[in-house]
Amino acid sequence: MTNTWVKTTCAFCGVGCGIEARVNNDKVIVRGDKQHPANFGRLCSKGMALGEIVNNKGRLLQPYIEGKTTSWQNAITKIATDFKQVVDHFGSEAIGFYLSGQLLTEDYYVANKLMKGFIGSPNIDTNSRLCMSSSVAAHKRAFGSDTVPGCYEDLEKAELIIIAGANLAWCHPVLYQRIIAAKQQAPNLKIVVIDPRKTITAQTADLHLAIEPGTDVLLFNGLLHYLCQGNKLNNHFIRQYTEGFSLALQAATNEAHDLLFLAKHLAISSDLLTQFYRWFAETDKVVTLYSQGINQSSCGTDKVNSILNCHLAMGKIGKPGCGPFSLTGQPNAMGGREVGGMANSLAAHLEFNNPQHHELLSRFWHTSKLVKQPGLKAVDLFDAVAKGKIKAIWIMGTNPVVSMPNSQHVITALKNCPLVVVSDCMLETDTNQYADILLPATDWGEKSGMVTNSERRISRQRTLVKPAGKAKPDWWIICEVAKQMGFYQAFNYENEADIFKEYAKLTAFENDALGNNSIRDLDLSLLTDLTTQEYHDFTPTQWPAIKNTKQSNNKRFFADGKFYTQTTKAQFITVSYKPPVTKTNSTYPLILNTGRIRDQWHTMTRTSFIPKLCTHISEPYVHLNPLDATTFSIKHDELVQLTSNIGTLITKAKVSEQILSGQVFMPMHWTRMLASSGQVSQLINPNVDPFSGQPESKYTPVTISPW
Ligand code: SF4
């Protein structure tokens, strides 16, 4: 325990705020870190409450096998033995891992190394699949790599900020505070919010476009056509630095050339639409922030590419105050992307479809078992568990029984799976109920490692107190299993610093051999000679950075017009509007939207234990418009039944003008354990985007009736 101020990083969202924390009379006190470039001292309600999760109630304190406490040695031996038997009898691919953006970079790295490099199974995915995988897929299509072009500083430099599909005020509060502060400094800064709901964020915008849910591609295709018609294109940029423009423009023009038609289908006035298009066309510095309203869709990748197309068409990328900007949900979703946390990527942005990358990673890890093909993405992974193809699954730091769509199917899958291992810091989660083996993991304040935020800034989470009970760091648990499985040499790390140093070395390993188009030309090379002391003293650093200095050299990517494609040119992607997979009809006439509330985090496994975070909104609810309340004979605060084609639940109705007629909204947080019938995921179809595999969590046809 330490009673001096320790610099660490928030464990909740992807803004990645710096925190200073100290222990006083066994209590952890936190304050915003004024030196951290993400927040400059600001914290939101969740960050302020972080101290209260340390040593709080409900922790998982020791390992369990089949509901009985056991020793670490027994638990590790059983997992290693059972995994080996599964591999021997059914093959490597019968093992699955499901990870979390709550894991630290070191945990993520060794989990991937074990699965993809040594067990030889590609079936390792992460809950980041539910969060920003559509952005990853779109970045790769347009830029040739999963690269976030801009940085937070652009929010203060922009003249127009577009916030698409994000309630920033509640979901990324400190970034919202930065934008509001920027507007106070520069009142001419305009803010446009694109969101079907009149959220707190939308209420403070200069322009709110409450478009019909799912029509974002139409909106941005209309913008691309408008830019062309008004001679607002950056023809030099398009000619010099991009490919595929004509086809993308043709598709946009075909479906979005008629403003009145567009306005009708977007369900907004043509005046509002024209104003948005004019502002985008006439403003020099434009940032488009986007999040789950864009990503969580059966055409999420196309939606992101429709945004990227517009920025490329005007060369609004790679410059101060300009660029498309994907906001990550979790504290280390970005770190997971970097170390290959997803089923379709390898560590250090190496790619499956590149034999040279495969050969290099095999040599670096000294393994002959490195998988050659991508594995199953989250929805398919649990489907394979349900079908008996996966015989053993290890879930780390996440609660898929609540967060996955069609949660009843996930329950069935886990009940049928011969071996379910769960490591978590909390004892009673909905997923833990189905675990054969439960492993206690360290929580924030106990663990130590790196996280990367939405603007590619790597920061340290540091240890403040001793682990609760027998809890251990995730990287330690994974490495112990790996060693018992016979991979001793590859997983014999002394500490988390050794793991990070190995990962950093990989980012520069034989970099020159990969040619000029490799993202690894701009890498973590400043960190490759990191000492353990430097690791411990590490200050927040945005990658990439200049070799052998501690300076970031690329706040923004693509300033030179060079992208990571074969031709070094950015790709316009031809996209056209596709309706959601499951459509409304006379039985299910309302569109159910889902999202977060201000003071809770994910499935509330930790935040529900903090009383002050439960006072803002204390129970699940469904928002519906007064017109629909009349149509369906529903009164404010009454219990209602909400039904989709796959499930039904009971919750409380809140009649609100924030939601348009024809739509309803429910928070994603509550679970069956917390509110027996308020878990929204039981209604959501497992429809996914064909490129990213991200589920369509923002559009579920439902009906509502008094209960
Ligand atoms: Fe933590 Fe996100 Fe709030 Fe910052 S904005 S304090 S990272 S929850």
Lowest mean pLDDT across 110-114, 334-338, 408-412, 640-644 = 334-338
Band (545; pLDDT cuts 50, 70, 90) = low
Asked if pLDDT for residue 547 goes beyond 60, the answer is no
Question: CATH code at 20?
Answer: 3.30.200.210
Burial of 162-176, coded b for 16+ CB within 10 Å and e otherwise, reads bbbbbbbbbbbbbbb
Task: Give 647's contacts (C-beta < 8 A, 6+ positions apart).
Answer: 406, 408, 682, 683
Report the C-alpha gap between 348 and 340 in whole angstroms.
7
Structural domain includes residue 480: yes
| Structure token pair of residue 448 | 């130590």
Lowest mean pLDDT across 278-287, 296-305, 425-434, 524-533 = 524-533
Lowest mean pLDDT across 277-291, 457-471, 507-521, 566-580 = 507-521
**Domain shared by 203 and 252, yes or no:** yes
> Considering the entire predicted model, what is its pTM?
0.96
Establish whether residue 12 lines the binding site of ligand 1, counting it when its CB lies within 6 angstroms of any ligand atom.
Answer: yes
pLDDT over 70, % of the chain: 96
Structural domain includes residue 527: no
Structural domain includes residue 506: no
- Cβ(556)–Cβ(629) below 8 Å: no
Report the C-alpha gap between 231 and 203 in whole angstroms.
32
**Domain shared by 656 and 631, yes or no:** yes
Task: Give 374's contacts (C-beta < 8 A, 6+ positions apart).
Answer: 122, 343, 344, 345, 352
Establish whether residue 273 lines the binding site of ligand 1, counting it when its CB lies within 6 angstroms of any ligand atom.
Answer: no
Residue 596 Cα to ligand 1 midpoint, Å, equals: 14
Lowest mean pLDDT across 145-149, 221-225, 365-369, 390-394 = 145-149
Residue 40 Cα to ligand 1 midpoint, Å, equals: 12
Average confidence (pLDDT) over 108-115: 98
Residue 144 Cα to ligand 1 midpoint, Å, equals: 30
Residue closest via CA to ligand 1's atom 1 equals 47
Establish whether residue 174 lines the binding site of ligand 1, counting it when its CB lies within 6 angstroms of any ligand atom.
Answer: yes
Q: How many domains does the chain have?
A: 4
**Domain shared by 271 and 145, yes or no:** yes
**Domain shared by 318 and 379, yes or no:** no
**pLDDT tens-digit map of 49-95:** 999 988 778 999 999 999 999 999 999 999 999 999 999 999 999 99
Can you tell me which atom of ligand 1 is nearest the CA of 45? 3
Can you tell me which atom of ligand 1 is nearest the CA of 175? 5
Q: In the chain, how many H helices and how many E strands?
A: 24, 26
**Domain shared by 220 and 301, yes or no:** yes
**Domain shared by 296 and 350, yes or no:** no
- Domain finish residue from 327, 354, 376: 327
Structural domain includes residue 574: no
Question: CATH code at 303?
Answer: 3.40.228.10
Question: CATH code at 432?
Answer: 3.40.50.740
Residue 50 Cα to ligand 1 midpoint, Å, equals: 10
Residue 682 Cα to ligand 1 midpoint, Å, equals: 28
Structural domain includes residue 547: no
Report the C-alpha gap between 286 and 150 in whole angstroms.
11
Give the DSSP letter string of 439-467: EEB--TTT--EEEE-TTSEEEEE---SPP
Residue 601 Cα to ligand 1 midpoint, Å, equals: 10
Residue 338 has a pLDDT of: 87
**Domain shared by 101 and 30, yes or no:** no
Residue 11 Cα to ligand 1 midpoint, Å, equals: 8
Lowest mean pLDDT across 27-41, 352-366, 530-544, 666-680 = 666-680
Residue 406 has a pLDDT of: 94
Residue 20 Cα to ligand 1 midpoint, Å, equals: 13
- Domain finish residue from 327, 348, 363: 327
**Domain shared by 192 and 322, yes or no:** yes
Structural domain includes residue 397: yes
Structural domain includes residue 566: no
**Domain shared by 425 and 441, yes or no:** yes
Residue 544 has a pLDDT of: 73
Asked if pLDDT for residue 551 goes beyond 60, the answer is no
Average confidence (pLDDT) over 164-174: 97
The ipTM value here is 1.00
**pLDDT tens-digit map of 356-415:** 999 999 999 999 999 999 999 999 999 999 999 999 999 999 999 999 999 999 999 999
Can you tell me which atom of ligand 1 is nearest the CA of 15? 7
Structural domain includes residue 542: no
**Domain shared by 161 and 77, yes or no:** no
Report the C-alpha gap between 459 and 479 in whole angstroms.
23
Can you tell me which atom of ligand 1 is nearest the CA of 19? 6
**Domain shared by 352 and 308, yes or no:** no
Average confidence (pLDDT) over 8-36: 95
Residue 552 has a pLDDT of: 52
- Cβ(131)–Cβ(295) below 8 Å: yes
Establish whether residue 538 lines the binding site of ligand 1, counting it when its CB lies within 6 angstroms of any ligand atom.
Answer: no
Please give the residue range of the domain that contains residue 95.
64-129+335-496
Average confidence (pLDDT) over 166-191: 97
- Domain finish residue from 475, 496, 517: 496
**pLDDT tens-digit map of 656-689:** 999 999 999 999 998 877 766 779 999 999 999 9
Q: Determine the 3-state secondary structure of 654 from DSSP.
A: strand
Q: What value does the mean pLDDT of the chain take?
A: 94
Establish whether residue 490 lines the binding site of ligand 1, counting it when its CB lies within 6 angstroms of any ligand atom.
Answer: no
Residue 706 has a pLDDT of: 97
**Domain shared by 610 and 694, yes or no:** yes
